[in-house]
A and B are shown apart, each in its own frame.
Chain A
Amino acid sequence: AQSVTQPDIHITVSEGASLELRCNYSYGATPYLFWYVQSPGQGLQLLLKYFSGDTLVQGIKGFEAEFKRSQSSFNLRKPSVHWSDAAEYFCAVFTSGTYKYIFGTGTRLKVLA
């Protein structure tokens, strides 16, 4: 069955520290993968997406993610976290046959000053 797993429900990092949010997927075909961010009380904003090609993709706000087929992972990274990055982050896989997303359960990021 198709699924997306975000194993970390909460993560706390200090401002200026590096960040990695984990995402694992289960999908039979080549996946289309996404990371969205949701600030408190806001909708979802697209951070980055992977369809094919270079496995390291760059997104907005200094985020990047690396697709590793062998590990079925699409982890999100940022070298230096800012206080404004505090939000909830969702990984999603797009199912091309049905044109629908499958979302992970989200990781809530807290940033310490």
Chain B
Amino acid sequence: NAGVTQTPKFRVLKTGQSMTLLCAQDMNHEYMYWYRQDPGMGLRLIHYSVGEGTTAKGEVPDGYNVSRLKKQNFLLGLESAAPSQTSVYFCASSFQGSETQYFGPGTRLLVL
């Protein structure tokens, strides 16, 4: 039981490049979330999903897209990376309606 895993762990991009972050969970959770963590700002919700095939915007969705084609996976895409997207990205998941979220180890992204 791996819990929540994230791929890759670290990535460096140039401005304008695209990439996809993968989040996978093996706990059969319905809900999945993407957060970004920046110094002095805590974690902010980017997008979330309440089930396969559904996604919704969070607090800071601009510049990101997401897809939930399979229940266990939640993808976060950056179509044209910007230096402002340098951050640590965390994925989380939870059971439907549950108050407790389980977090992955994070992906550190540097955009030059």
Chain B positions within 8 Å of A, measured between CB atoms, are 4, 31, 33, 40-45, 48, 50, 58, 90, 92, 94, 97, 99-101, 103-106
Chain A positions within 8 Å of B, measured between CB atoms, are 4, 9, 32, 34, 36, 42-46, 49, 51, 90, 94, 96, 99-101, 103-106
8 of the cross-chain contacts (CB-CB < 8 Å) are: A32-B99, A34-B99, A34-B100, A44-B43, A94-B99, A100-B58, A101-B43, A101-B101
Q: What is the bound-complex CA distance between A105 and B76, given in angstroms?
A: 23
Are A101's CB and B90's CB within 8 A? no
Known: A32-B99, A94-B99. Is A104-B42 also a contact (CB below 8 A)?
A: yes
Contact of A101 among B4, B40, B45, B50 (CB under 8 A): B45
Q: Smallest CB-CB separation from A42: which chain B residue?
A: B105
Are A100's CB and B104's CB within 8 A? no
Are A106's CB and B104's CB within 8 A? no
Overall SS of chain B's interface: strand
**Shortest Cβ distance from A51 into chain B, in angstroms?**
7
Are B99's CB and A103's CB within 8 A? no
Q: What is the bound-complex CA distance between A26 and B94, given in angstroms?
A: 24
Are A43's CB and B103's CB within 8 A? yes
- Apart from A43-B103, A43-B105, A51-B99, what 5 extra A-B contacts exist at CB < 8 Å? A43-B90, A44-B43, A90-B42, A100-B33, A105-B41
Q: What is the bound-complex CA distance between A46 and B92, given in angstroms?
A: 12
Are B99's CB and A96's CB within 8 A? yes
- Most A CB within 10 A of own CB, among B45, B58, B94, B99: B99
Are A99's CB and B43's CB within 8 A? no
**Shortest Cβ distance from B66 into chain A, in angstroms?**
15
Are B42's CB and A49's CB within 8 A? no
Contact of A99 among B4, B41, B97, B103 (CB under 8 A): B97
